[in-house]
Each structure stands twice: as structure tokens, then as C-alpha cells.
């Protein structure tokens, strides 16, 4: 038997409505030399019957049937132990991939002899009518992937570093695996013309916030980067990425209990950091002195703003004969764009200061200053950034724009809760 080019690991639990779409995208891959290892984690629905149906028709599908639920980490690790392929990829069963996905990743990996080769993603939320591209961030030469299933990994590379998913961690176990893999990789390559389709199912805001501060994965990540990273700048990029994620969740948590616990979680992380540095992408009103304890941080945030939540209530009047711009080409920009397209508002372009970004989801990306310096002022701006809303609004006001008349921001100010 020939060695498979790619082994695809699919952990399966209670995904009957989505599983056929996922399997169809895998069995019809243009790269034929693959094996598809599906781990049924004692799923209570008809997922196992669907797997057996597909396995009867395609011998490349291998089924591992757990007799008791063991969790996604053990499922993935079991699949990796069984994998025979040159490379290993991961797919969640409620997602799917382009039909040329593994062919393009494999060819790039072989050409460049890369340990990790990754692609872009297209995201869709339940309330959105279409998918949107979310580019992967890169800081200089440093790749920072947040989704482990966007990549294929050289099997020998994983084995040589004993890389597995932590089995006693309930949340963010995938991020811990990914951080380790990125640290040990000698070469990481990117393919920009094929996509992983990430279906962001709505688990509820409280679920997300609670999982963040209960996460065992984030402390593991902090411990790992504190021990392994010796370059201050690289360490700062990695630490900022995860710490800013916690701050972002804190800013968007509507329940006071979650904000209290997230604030404590953020301060605990901050105090354990290895290197001091300037944090990126957090509100300017948060100062170093606010990070002495959780109570101080929480009060500062409560005194300044609470998320008004969000683009569903976006209402703009007097758009006739005015160009519409969205400020911020990122996840929040996608949310704003989805609402604009739903309302059939024509978007002229995105505004973003990232000079390397010239196109975003089919729209041009231009410098904000190019628009603000236009004396005609025949435009309206939607500020999409929840983090920098206040600062961007001040920039707009300095250019002579008025909130409500010329621009919209997604926050309301609110005094501290007692």
C-alpha cells in the first residue's frame, strides 16, 4: 500500500446535521492520495451511521469508534497515532474545505519542505448570509495562527517533537498545540488561493466568556512561551495576541460576573509575563497603573465603556449620494460589512492603516487619511473596531466630522456598575 500524502483527522461528536457536507468535501479532494481518519467519540446522534455509510463507499475512510466519550484531544491524538500520511491535517466535522485544499497545501509543503503549511479561512456566522475571508495575521517573519485546522503538519516533525493535544485541558487545547508547533517549526509556508470554511456556530456570549477564564490552555501557553522564547519582540507578539484576546472578551462581556472573573484572569496573565513591553490593540485609556489589580482594571473599563452590542442595531440615515466606508479590515469589519450588505447599503471601501493590505473581501482598502483629507466630506464612516472606537472617533472629530451625522461607532459610554 502506498503511503498517503495527507492523513486528515476528523473528531466526530453530535454533528449529524453537518457531517455529510464535511465528508463530501474530503472524499472529493483533487488530491487522491489521502486517508480520512474519523474518530466517533461516542456520539449520541446518527453520526456513526453516516460515517459507516461513507466508509462503505470509500476505502480511504477509517473509523475509530470510542465506546465512551473521551474528549476531542484524545480523539485527535488517537487519530495522529494511527495516521500513515506524510502530512497530517485536521478538520472539524461541522466545517469543510475547498476541493483543492489538500492538493495545494501538499504541493507547497513538498516544494518548500515546510513543517507547517497553512491557508486562509472563510468564516460564516449563523446570522450571516454569506462567507467572509479572514486573513491570517503575520508580524514580520512571525506567523501567528489562531486556528490549528488551517494547516497541514509534516508527520515526522510532529513525532520528532512529541507534539500532541493536552488531554486534561478542556478549553484552548488546540491553541496550546498550535503554539508549540509554531515554535518548533523550522519553516512555515502560506497558500493564499484555497480556503478552510469555518462555520462559527453560536454557543452564546456567556459560554465564550466563561470558557476563556476557565481555560486551562491559556496558562499552559503562557508557561510554555515564558520558558521557550528568548527574543523579546517575538515573545511580545505571541503574548500580546493571547492577552489581547482576553481583554477583548472582557470588553465585550455583558454579565458583570464574567467581567469580574475575566479581569482577574487578565491580571494574573499580565503579572506572569516574562518581558515587559507595549501592548498592541488595547484601548488607549488602559494605562500601566490600571494593571496593578483586577479591581482597578475592572473599574477603569466600567467607567469608560461597555459594549452596546453591536452591528445588528446599526442604523444609518441620510446615506443618499454619500460614499460609505468601513473603518477597520478585521473580524469586526466583517460584522459591519455583513450588516451593510444585509441592508443593501453600498460600501465604497475599507479604511485601514495597514499598508500591506490592499483588498478585503472584494473591497479596496485605503488609508483613512486619504479620506479624511477630502474637503468635500461626501461620505459616511462606520467605525468597526470595538477596541479603538473612542480613538478613531476622536480622529474623525478632529477632521470636522460629527458622530451620528458623519460617522457611527459601536460603543455607548456608561458609568461604573455598583
65 CB-contact burial (10 Å; exposed 0-12 / middle 13-18 / buried 19+): middle
The Cβ of residue 232 has, within 10 Å, a number of other Cβ atoms equal to: 12
Q: Does residue 380 have a pLDDT over 50? A: yes
Mean pLDDT of 378-383: 93
Is residue 241 within 8 Å of residue 144, measured between CB atoms?
Answer: yes
In this predicted model, what pLDDT tens digit does every residue of 3-62 receive, in sequence order? 999 999 999 999 999 999 999 999 999 998 999 999 999 999 999 999 999 999 999 999
3-state SS, residue 40: strand
From residue 320, alpha-carbon distances to 124, 333, 363, 380 in Å are 29, 22, 20, 10
- At CA 395, angle to CA 392 and CA 398, rounded to 5? 155
In this predicted model, what pLDDT tens digit does every residue of 127-175 receive, in sequence order? 777 899 987 766 666 777 778 999 999 999 999 999 999 998 877 889 8
According to DSSP, the β-strands at 363-366 and 349-351 are: parallel
* Residue 418, pLDDT score: 36
Q: Does residue 307 have a pLDDT over 60? A: no
Least confidently predicted of 82-91, 304-313, 385-394: 304-313
Q: Which residues are paired to 289 by β-bridges?
A: none
Q: Does residue 242 have a pLDDT over 90? A: no
Mean pLDDT of 82-107: 97
Computed over its alpha carbons, how large is the radius of gyration of the chain? 23
Which DSSP category does 118 fall into? E
For 174-315, strand residue ranges (E) read: 188-199, 306-307
- At CA 409, angle to CA 407 and CA 415, rounded to 5? 135
Mean pLDDT of 64-82: 95
* Residue 215, pLDDT score: 65
Dihedral in degrees, nearest 10, Cα atoms 12, 196, 99, 107 = -110
Q: Does residue 393 have a pLDDT over 80? A: yes
Q: What's the longest Cα–Cα distance across the chain?
A: 70
Output b/e per residue, 97-110; b: 16+ Cβ within 10 A: bbebbbbbbbebbe
Measured between alpha carbons, how far is 398 from 143 in angstroms, rounded to an integer?
A: 36
* Residue 319, pLDDT score: 76
Output b/e per residue, 322-360; b: 16+ Cβ within 10 A: ebbbbbbbbebbbbbbbbbbeeeeebbbbbbeeeeeeeb
Q: Does residue 96 have a pLDDT over 50? A: yes
61 CB-contact burial (10 Å; exposed 0-12 / middle 13-18 / buried 19+): buried
The Cβ of residue 114 has, within 10 Å, a number of other Cβ atoms equal to: 23
pLDDT band, residue 308 (cuts 50/70/90): very low
* Residue 203, pLDDT score: 55
* Residue 315, pLDDT score: 66
Mean pLDDT of 59-70: 95
How high is the mean pLDDT of the chain? 87
Measured between alpha carbons, how far is 349 from 362 in angstroms, rounded to an integer?
A: 9
Whole-number percent of the chain with pLDDT over 70? 88
Dihedral in degrees, nearest 10, Cα atoms 156, 161, 167, 170 = -100
Q: Does residue 417 have a pLDDT over 50? A: no
Residues counted in the chain: 418
413 CB-contact burial (10 Å; exposed 0-12 / middle 13-18 / buried 19+): exposed
Which alpha helices (DSSP H) does 360-412 contain, by range? 368-372, 389-398
* Residue 280, pLDDT score: 66
The domains found in the chain, sorted by start residue, are: 6-199 (3.90.550.10), 205-304 (no CATH), 323-412 (3.40.50.720)
Is residue 21 within 8 Å of residue 28, measured between CB atoms?
Answer: no
Mean pLDDT of 384-401: 87
Stronger pLDDT, 23 or 298, i.e. the higher one: 23
Region of 202 (left: φ > 0; alpha: ψ -120 to 50; beta: rest) is beta
Closest CA to 255 of 221, 294, 319, 302: 302
* Residue 344, pLDDT score: 87
Helix-helix angle 256-271:232-252, to 10 degrees: 170
Mean pLDDT of 79-96: 96
* Residue 310, pLDDT score: 57
* Residue 165, pLDDT score: 95
Helix-helix angle 217-228:256-271, to 10 degrees: 20
Q: In the numeric block, which cell numbers belong to residue 396?
A: 474623525
Is residue 33 within 8 Å of residue 15, measured between CB atoms?
Answer: no
Query: Ranked by mean pLDDT, which of 80-94, 237-251, 267-281 comes out on top?
Result: 80-94
Mean pLDDT of 66-84: 95
Mean pLDDT of 280-297: 83
* Residue 413, pLDDT score: 42
Stronger pLDDT, 356 or 95, i.e. the higher one: 95
- Check whether the bond before 310 is cis (ω within 30° of 0): yes
Mean pLDDT of 260-277: 88
Measured between alpha carbons, how far is 107 from 93 in angstroms, rounded to an integer?
A: 24
3-state SS, residue 381: strand
Q: Does residue 415 have a pLDDT over 50? A: no
Q: Does residue 268 have a pLDDT over 80? A: yes
Q: Tell the residue number behind the cell numbers 456520539, with chain if given.
A: 43
* Residue 204, pLDDT score: 46
Amino acid at each position: 500500500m502506498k503511503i498517503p500524502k495527507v492523513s486528515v483527522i476528523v473528531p466526530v461528536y453530535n454533528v449529524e446535521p453537518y457531517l455529510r457536507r464535511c465528508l463530501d468535501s474530503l472524499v472529493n479532494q483533487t488530491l487522491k492520495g489521502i486517508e480520512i481518519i474519523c474518530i466517533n467519540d461516542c456520539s449520541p446522534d446518527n453520526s456513526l451511521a453516516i460515517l459507516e455509510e461513507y466508509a462503505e463507499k470509500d476505502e480511504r475512510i477509517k473509523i475509530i469508534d470510542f465506546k465512551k466519550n473521551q474528549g476531542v484531544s484524545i480523539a485527535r491524538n488517537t487519530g495522529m497515532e494511527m495516521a500513515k500520511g506524510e502530512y497530517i491535517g485536521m478538520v472539524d466535522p461541522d466545517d469543510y474545505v475547498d476541493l483543492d485544499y489538500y492538493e495545494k497545501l501538499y504541493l507547497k509543503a513538498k516544494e518548500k519542505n515546510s513543517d507547517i503549511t497553512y491557508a486562509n479561512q472563510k468564516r460564516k456566522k449563523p446570522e450571516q448570509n454569506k462567507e467572509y475571508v479572514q486573513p491570517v495575521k503575520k508580524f514580520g517573519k512571525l506567523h501567528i495562527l489562531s486556528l490549528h485546522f488551517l494547516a497541514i503538519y509534516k508527520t515526522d516533525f510532529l513525532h520528532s517533537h512529541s507534539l500532541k493535544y493536552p488531554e486534561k485541558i478542556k478549553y484552548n487545547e488546540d491553541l496550546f498545540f498550535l503554539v508549540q508547533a509554531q515554535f518548533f517549526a523550522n519553516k512555515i509556508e502560506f497558500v493564499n488561493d484555497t480556503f478552510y470554511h469555518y462555520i462559527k456556530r453560536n454557543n452564546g456570549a456567556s459560554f465564550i466568556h466563561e470558557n476563556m477564564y476557565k481555560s486551562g490552555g491559556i496558562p499552559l501557553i503562557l508557561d510554555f512561551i515564558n520558558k521557550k522564547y528568548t527574543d523579546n519582540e517575538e515573545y511580545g507578539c505571541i503574548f500580546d495576541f493571547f492577552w489581547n484576546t482576553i481583554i477583548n472578551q472582557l470588553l465585550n462581556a455583558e454579565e458583570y460576573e464574567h467581567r469580574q472573573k475575566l479581569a482577574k484572569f487578565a491580571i494574573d496573565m499580565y503579572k506572569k509575563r516574562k518581558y515587559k513591553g507595549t501592548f498592541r490593540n488595547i484601548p488607549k485609556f488602559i494605562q500601566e497603573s490600571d494593571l496593578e489589580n483586577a479591581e482597578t482594571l475592572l473599574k477603569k473599563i466600567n467607567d469608560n465603556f461597555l459594549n452596546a452590542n453591536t452591528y445588528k442595531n446599526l442604523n444609518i440615515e441620510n446615506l443618499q449620494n454619500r460614499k460609505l466606508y468601513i473603518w477597520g479590515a478585521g473580524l469586526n469589519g466583517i460584522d459591519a460589512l455583513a450588516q451593510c450588505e444585509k441592508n443593501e447599503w453600498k460600501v465604497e471601501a475599507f479604511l485601514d492603516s495597514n499598508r500591506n493590505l490592499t483588498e478585503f473581501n472584494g473591497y479596496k482598502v485605503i488609508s483613512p487619511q486619504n479620506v479624511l483629507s477630502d474637503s468635500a466630506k461626501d461620505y459616511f464612516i462606520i467605525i468597526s473596531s470595538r477596541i479603538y472606537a473612542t480613538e478613531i472617533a476622536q480622529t474623525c472629530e478632529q477632521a470636522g466630522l460629527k458622530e451620528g451625522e458623519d460617522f457611527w461607532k459601536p460603543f455607548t459610554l456608561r458609568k461604573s456598575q455598583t
